[in-house]
């Protein structure tokens, strides 16, 4: 009886270990794309740079046009293949942190375009690190396999922790959840060297001095890093 009890105890222990492993293992992610877009709405985005019409326009106006193009590319990506899943949300700076101006969830291009039309203009500091944290929290709630954060910014962090301080923790958090978080920084009218330390944590960092370069760099990031399919130019 003692031997039988001992064997039964070992069997229960093994079953407990197996159950714990099953419940602690990350769930299998569904195929699809989850992307959080962070748009710089700090005061410096009012400054003008060369636009695509041989003139100069405020950076936020150029950024809005570029973001509308990004929305169109994601929309085509979402509809090019039947059943393709896309989750997305739009985040901007707000005081000492970030706000979710288009709720993260099933991609809603109409909501993003509506926000762009109503956007009154920049009125904040540059809490880049906290915006990155907020966007990461949203993206990591998605059950879709590909998780990306795209940040369009014209300045260095001025409020709260820097992206270099928070990104390692966010990457580790994603790994603990059994997934990978991809981050992409488009430095608009500021040298990419400002964000160079982020590269060692896997971030994509590119720079753009004007509207033409901004569109080119966003095309590169979308086509080569996020959507992973060439945009149909026809």
77-99 pLDDT, tens per residue? Answer: 999 988 899 999 999 998 889 99
Say what the pLDDT of residue 229 is.
63
- Cα separation, 15 vs 4, in Å, equals 16
Is residue 89 within 8 Å of 36, Cβ to Cβ? Answer: yes
What tokens were used for 72? 């169109």
Say what the pLDDT of residue 82 is.
81
Among the listed ranges 111-115, 156-160, 181-185, which one has the minimum average pLDDT value?
156-160
- Cα separation, 127 vs 93, in Å, equals 7
Alpha carbon separation from 220 to 148, 227, 231 (Å, rounded) = 15, 10, 10
**What share of the chain has pLDDT > 90, as a percent?**
79
SS3 of 200, please? Answer: helix
Q: Mean pLDDT, to the nearest integer, of 47-53?
A: 94
Predicted confidence band of residue 108 (pLDDT cuts 50, 70, 90): very high
Classify residue 163 as exposed, middle or buried by CB count within 10 Å of its CB (0-12, 13-18, 19+).
buried
Say what the pLDDT of residue 174 is.
97
Q: Which of 183, 106, 185, 101 is nearest to 142 (CA)?
A: 106
- Cα separation, 37 vs 51, in Å, equals 22
Predicted confidence band of residue 209 (pLDDT cuts 50, 70, 90): very high
29-226, which class in CATH? alpha beta
Say what the pLDDT of residue 16 is.
46
Q: Mean pLDDT, to the nearest integer, of 128-150?
A: 97
């Amino acid at each position: 009886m003692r031997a039988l009890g001992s064997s039964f105890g070992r069997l229960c222990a093994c079953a407990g270990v197996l159950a714990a492993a099953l419940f602690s293992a990350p769930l299998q992610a569904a195929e699809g794309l989850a992307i959080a877009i962070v748009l710089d709405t700090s005061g410096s985005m009012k400054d003008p740079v060369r636009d695509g019409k041989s003139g100069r326009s405020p950076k936020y106006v150029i950024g809005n046009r570029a973001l509308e193009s990004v929305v169109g590319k994601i929309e085509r990506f979402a509809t090019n293949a039947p059943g393709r899943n896309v989750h997305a949300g739009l985040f901007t700076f707000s005081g000492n942190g970030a706000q979710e101006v288009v709720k993260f969830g099933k991609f809603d291009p109409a909501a993003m375009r509506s926000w762009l039309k109503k956007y009154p203009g920049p009125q904040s500091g540059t809490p880049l690190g906290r915006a990155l944290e907020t966007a990461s929290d949203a993206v990591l709630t998605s059950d879709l396999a590909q998780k990306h954060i795209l940040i369009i910014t014209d300045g260095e962090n001025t409020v709260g922790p820097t992206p270099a301080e928070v990104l390692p923790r966010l990457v580790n958090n994603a790994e603990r959840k059994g997934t990978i978080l991809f981050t992409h920084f488009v430095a608009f009218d500021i040298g990419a060297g400002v964000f160079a330390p982020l590269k060692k944590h896997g971030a994509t960092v590119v720079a753009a001095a004007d509207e033409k370069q901004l569109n080119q760099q966003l095309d590169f990031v979308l086509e080569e890093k996020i959507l992973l399919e060439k945009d149909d130019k026809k």
